[in-house]
């Protein structure tokens, strides 16, 4: 399970999109959220958009792998069944979640989670990206920038940190992390059987 997190505008969604185009072994976990759908977002592709009541019922029924209340406003969480299905098929699952989700996921499955935090190259670049994508009102952008400092303060909870100066380089670094983590001995499930064949 690969976690990519960043403050809003840090670049995690763009990096996720690029990674999905070039790595067939990785699938994206689709989160459930209680926030309103933004223009261009598709149900089941970007998020599962649910009511607060439905979200709380899913959580109470044990259907969520992790949950978080973001900005004290909207709930986000990872439905458990699709993740377990992908992992059972030998896929890696990529999570586009925040530091709270990362904390919950690592608590639930510490040996299986690899976490990467994406930092913007500067505060000015972060603000510019939020304005350029034009998905939120000015009031919402100001609120997000106000919360970004708190989010960035949690970078030490992640195993890897990438400063997103160049998108192509950042995507390559995530690829490198993924390849290295796939080669860890404890993740090579058929390794012992393979080694037994290495004899004259």
Q: Express each pLDDT in 121-173 by its tens digit.
A: 999 888 887 877 666 678 878 887 888 888 999 999 999 999 999 999 999 99
Query: What is the C-alpha separation between 58 and 76, in angstroms, rounded?
Result: 12
The distance of Cα 33 from the centroid of its chain, to the nearest Å, equals: 14
Q: Which CATH superfamily is domain 2-196 in?
A: P-loop containing nucleotide triphosphate hydrolases (3.40.50.300)
**HSE toward the beta carbon, residue 125, CA cutoff 13 A:** 11
Residue 135: per-residue pLDDT:
66
How big is the chain by its Cα radius of gyration, in Å?
A: 18
**What is the chain's mean pLDDT, rounded?**
90
* pLDDT (mean) for 95-121: 91
| Helix (H) / strand (E) containing 115 | strand 114-119
DSSP symbol at 157: G
Give the residue among 64, 144, 137 at the shortest CA–CA distance from 104: 64
For the chain, give every domain's residue range. 2-196
Query: What is the C-alpha separation between 69 and 175, in angstroms, rounded?
Result: 30
Query: What is the C-alpha separation between 18 and 191, in angstroms, rounded?
Result: 30
Residues 43-69 as b/e (b if ≥16 CB within 10 A, e otherwise) read eeebbbbbeeeebbebeeeeebbbbbe
């Amino acid at each position: 399970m690969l976690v990519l997190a960043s403050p809003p505008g840090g670049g995690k969604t763009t990096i996720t999109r690029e990674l999905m185009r070039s790595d067939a072994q990785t699938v994206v976990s689709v989160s459930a959220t209680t926030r309103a759908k933004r223009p261009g977002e598709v149900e089941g592709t970007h998020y599962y958009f649910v009511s607060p009541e439905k979200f709380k019922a899913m959580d109470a029924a044990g259907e969520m792998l992790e949950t978080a209340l973001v900005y004290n406003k909207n709930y986000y969480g990872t439905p458990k069944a699709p993740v377990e299905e992908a992992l059972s098929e030998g896929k890696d699952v990529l999570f586009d979640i925040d530091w709270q989700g990362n904390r919950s996921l690592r608590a639930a499955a510490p040996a299986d989670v690899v976490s990467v935090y994406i930092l913007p190259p500067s505060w000015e670049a972060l603000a510019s990206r939020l304005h350029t994508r034009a998905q939120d009102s000015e009031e919402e952008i100001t609120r997000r920038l106000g919360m970004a400092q708190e989010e960035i303060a949690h970078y030490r909870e992640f195993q890897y940190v990438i400063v997103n100066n160049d998108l192509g380089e950042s995507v390559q670094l995530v690829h490198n992390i993924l390849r290295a983590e796939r080669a860890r001995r404890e993740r090579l499930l058929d390794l012992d059987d393979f080694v037994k064949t290495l004899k004259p």
